[in-house]
């Protein structure tokens, strides 16, 4: 008798964070591309003083592409257990950590609202989840069967 493949709860946690990142990256990036002044998201262009950017167009394109479209692709690849899904999830987590780090270095830390803290922690949590043996196995093999959730 063939038992269905059970994925660990931590795998679904990874999927949830990837989907949330994709949705927020697509929304935020699209808003900044649509309105590079940042008014749609209540971001003043004065935040960009001292950076190489005069408006939010380039950051919006980067956000939309690397933290919106790519996490969505990795989300679906993870669900379907594509061979590249684990590496994709690791790279998304690293990209998010770098994005927040560069943002803080360029414009400073903003505690209200605490978005930098939330997304920085989310990047770290994504990276931790990708390193869990059961998550890694779930992403890398279609033939493994799991009896319990973790």
**Under 8 Å CB-to-CB from 144, ≥6 apart: which residues?**
5, 137, 138
Say what the pTM is.
0.87
Please determine, for residue 37, whether its predicted confidence score (pLDDT) is greater than 90.
Answer: yes
Interatomic CA distance for residues 73 and 56, integer angstroms: 24
pLDDT in tens, 95-132: 999 999 999 999 999 888 899 999 999 999 999 999 99
How much is the pLDDT for 13? 97
Q: Is residue 146 pLDDT above 70, yes or no?
A: no
- Check if the beta carbon of residue 14 is closer than 8 Å to that of residue 135: yes
pLDDT band at 18 (very low <50, low <70, confident <90, very high): very high
**d(Cα 14, Cα 126) in Å, to the nearest integer?**
6
CA distance 119 to 100: 7
pLDDT over 80 (residue 143) = no
**Residue 58 vs residues 17, 25, 43, 148: alpha-carbon distances, Å:** 24, 14, 14, 45
Of 40-44, 70-74, 87-91, the one with minimum mean pLDDT is 40-44
DSSP-derived letter for residue 146 is -
Give residue 4's pLDDT. 58
The stretch 45-69 carries a mean pLDDT of 95
For residues 75-103, give the mean pLDDT. Answer: 96
Mean of per-residue pLDDT scores for the chain: 91
Evaluate if residue 69 carries a pLDDT over 70.
yes
| Range 47-75 average pLDDT | 96
Distance CA 87, CA 78 (A): 10
Instruction: Answer yes or no: is pLDDT of 1 > 70.
Output: no
What pLDDT is attached to residue 140? 78
Residue 98, C-beta contacts closer than 8 angstroms, at least 6 positions apart: none
């Amino acid at each position: 008798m063939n038992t269905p493949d059970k994925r660990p709860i931590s795998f679904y946690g990874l999927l949830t964070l990837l989907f949330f990142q994709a949705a927020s990256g697509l929304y935020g990036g699209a808003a900044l591309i649509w309105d590079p002044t940042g008014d749609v998201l209540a971001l003043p262009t004065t935040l960009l003083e001292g950076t190489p950017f005069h408006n939010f167009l380039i950051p919006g394109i980067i956000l939309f592409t690397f933290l919106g479209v790519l996490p969505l692709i990795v989300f679906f690849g993870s669900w379907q257990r594509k061979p590249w899904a684990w590496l994709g999830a690791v790279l998304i987590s690293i990209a998010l950590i770098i994005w927040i780090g560069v943002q803080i270095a360029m414009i400073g830390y903003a505690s209200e609202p605490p978005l930098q803290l939330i997304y920085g922690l989310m990047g770290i949590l994504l990276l931790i989840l990708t390193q869990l043996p059961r998550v890694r196995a779930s992403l890398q093999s279609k033939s493994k069967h799991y009896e319990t959730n973790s």
